[in-house]
């Protein structure tokens, strides 16, 4: 089927009390793994591309790969721009067929974030393109920040209410203790803050940096209103596990298909596991 937008998927997730996985793609094998898992689990799915992915694969390749996958899929698929930090690139992605974009102006002042988010909404809304914004700073696991500093960058519930009121945004990424990349220890999520945000904004909440967050914590986050869960690092781990395993067993293997095929299988298994944790299986 044709690509759908993210708001449609998250509205159904809101009503059904589950979350939709948003998995990062960079190449054909990753796209196939994500779609294969979504089809096997009869789950809606979001495939997202970061600016780095677009730089690596090229915008046309990303759109063509995901469109081809979606057209022959029996489950709804959305194509989302992850962490758009360039106004021009966000517009370019919309022009090329993305059905959803994230405008990440979280590093800027609140009023500036509102202004730029509204500029994107003005373009996206009439075209039925979904827009995700971010409030608070999520950061990376490699960022060497002390806990009190990290907490200072968490999303403030009052500010979230103001942001949503000023923009009318329909999904919001929040900083509640997750970070991008591989965690050194177990991440501690600020669930009370999540509940306070959800009570104030009552729109689907997006959780970034979700690889490495224990399943129980993800389920608790869903109970408290998270509806889109971003996963990238887990797929990178599965991919490299697959490649390493083949090359350890057969160091002389030179056929890319025999190296990347098992990596694709491992990624698909990982996506299946996540879909089950998110509760989106059987929802397509
Ligand atoms: O949010 C970050 C995603 O993991 C994408 O990472 O910018 O290295 O593609 P990337
Ligand atoms: P992880 O790589 O930590 O799973 O984060 C993914 C993400 O948030 C993409 O926006
Ligand atoms: Zn992210």
Catalytic residue among 82, 104, 156, 232: 82
Neighbours of 188 (CB within 10 A): 12
Average pLDDT of the segment spanning 220-234: 98
pLDDT value of position 151:
78
| Beta carbons of 203 and 7 less than 8 angstroms apart | no
pLDDT value of position 69:
97
Q: Would you state the structure tokens that stand for residue 131, as one six-digit string?
A: 């827009």
Neighbours of 186 (CB within 10 A): 10
Ligand 2 atom 1: residue of nearest CA: 209
Report the pocket of ligand 2 as residue ranges, CB < 6 Å: 24, 82-83, 180-181, 208-211, 230-233
pLDDT tens digits for range 80-98: 999 999 999 999 999 999 9
Average pLDDT of the segment spanning 19-24: 99
- Please determine, for residue 147, whether its predicted confidence score (pLDDT) is greater than 80: no
SS3 230: strand
Where does the pLDDT of residue 148 fall: very low under 50, low under 70, confident under 90, or very high at 90 and above?
A: confident
pLDDT value of position 10:
98
pLDDT tens digits for range 157-204: 999 999 999 999 999 999 999 999 999 999 999 999 999 999 999 999
Where does the pLDDT of residue 269 fall: very low under 50, low under 70, confident under 90, or very high at 90 and above?
A: very high
24 lines ligand 1 (CB under 6 A): yes
Can you give the residue ranges of every domain in the chain? 6-140+151-230
Q: 187: exposed, middle or buried (C-beta count within 10 Å: 0-12, 13-18, 19+)? A: middle
| Beta carbons of 211 and 274 less than 8 angstroms apart | no
Average pLDDT of the segment spanning 150-155: 87
Domain 6-140+151-230 sits in CATH 3.20.20.70: yes
Q: To 5 degrees, how large is the angle CA 196–CA 200–CA 201? A: 120
SS3 270: helix
- When mean pLDDT is compared across 17-26, 45-54, 139-148, the lowest value belongs to 139-148
Query: In angstroms, rounded to a whole number, what is the distance separating the alpha carbons of residues 231 and 25?
Result: 10
Query: In angstroms, rounded to a whole number, what is the distance separating the alpha carbons of residues 79 and 71?
Result: 12
**Gap from CA of 19 to ligand 3 centroid (Å):** 16
Mean residue pLDDT of the chain comes to 97
Query: What is the share, in percent, of the chain residues with pLDDT greater than 70?
Result: 99
The DSSP symbol for 4 reads B
| Beta carbons of 282 and 43 less than 8 angstroms apart | yes
pLDDT tens digits for range 33-51: 999 999 999 999 999 999 9
Q: How far is CA 242 from CA 1, 38, 82, 260, in A?
A: 30, 20, 25, 8
Name beta bridge partners: 135. 174
- Please determine, for residue 149, whether its predicted confidence score (pLDDT) is greater than 80: no
> Does the active-site annotation cover 82?
yes
52 lines ligand 1 (CB under 6 A): yes
Q: 192: exposed, middle or buried (C-beta count within 10 Å: 0-12, 13-18, 19+)? A: exposed
């Amino acid at each position: 089927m044709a690509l759908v937008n993210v708001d449609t998927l998250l509205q159904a997730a809101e009503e059904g009390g589950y979350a939709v996985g948003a998995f990062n793609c960079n190449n054909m094998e990753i796209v196939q793994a994500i779609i294969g898992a979504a089809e096997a689990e009869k789950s809606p799915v979001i495939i997202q591309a970061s600016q780095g992915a677009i730089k690596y694969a090229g915008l046309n390749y990303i759109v063509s790969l995901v469109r081809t996958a979606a057209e022959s899929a029996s489950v709804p698929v959305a194509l989302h721009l992850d962490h758009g930090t360039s106004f021009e690139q966000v517009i370019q992605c919309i022009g090329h067929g993305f059905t959803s974009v994230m405008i990440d102006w979280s590093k800027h002042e609140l009023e500036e974030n509102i202004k730029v988010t509204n500029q994107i909404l003005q373009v996206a809304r009439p075209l039925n393109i979904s827009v995700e914004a971010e409030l608070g700073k999520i950061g990376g696991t490699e960022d060497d920040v002390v806990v009190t500093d990290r907490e200072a960058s968490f999303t403030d519930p009052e500010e979230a209410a103001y942001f949503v009121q000023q923009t009318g945004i329909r999904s919001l990424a929040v900083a509640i203790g997750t970070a991008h990349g591989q965690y050194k220890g177990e991440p501690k999520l600020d669930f009370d803050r999540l509940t306070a945000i959800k009570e104030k904004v009552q729109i689907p909440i997006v959780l970034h940096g979700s690889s490495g967050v224990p399943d129980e914590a993800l389920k608790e986050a869903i109970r408290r209103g998270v509806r889109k869960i971003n996963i990238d690092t887990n797929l990178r781990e599965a991919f490299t596990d697959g490649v390493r395993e083949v090359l350890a067993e057969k160091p002389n293997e030179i056929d890319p298909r025999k190296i990347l095929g098992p990596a694709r299988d491992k990624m698909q298994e990982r996506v299946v596991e996540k879909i089950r944790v998110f509760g989106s299986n059987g929802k397509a």
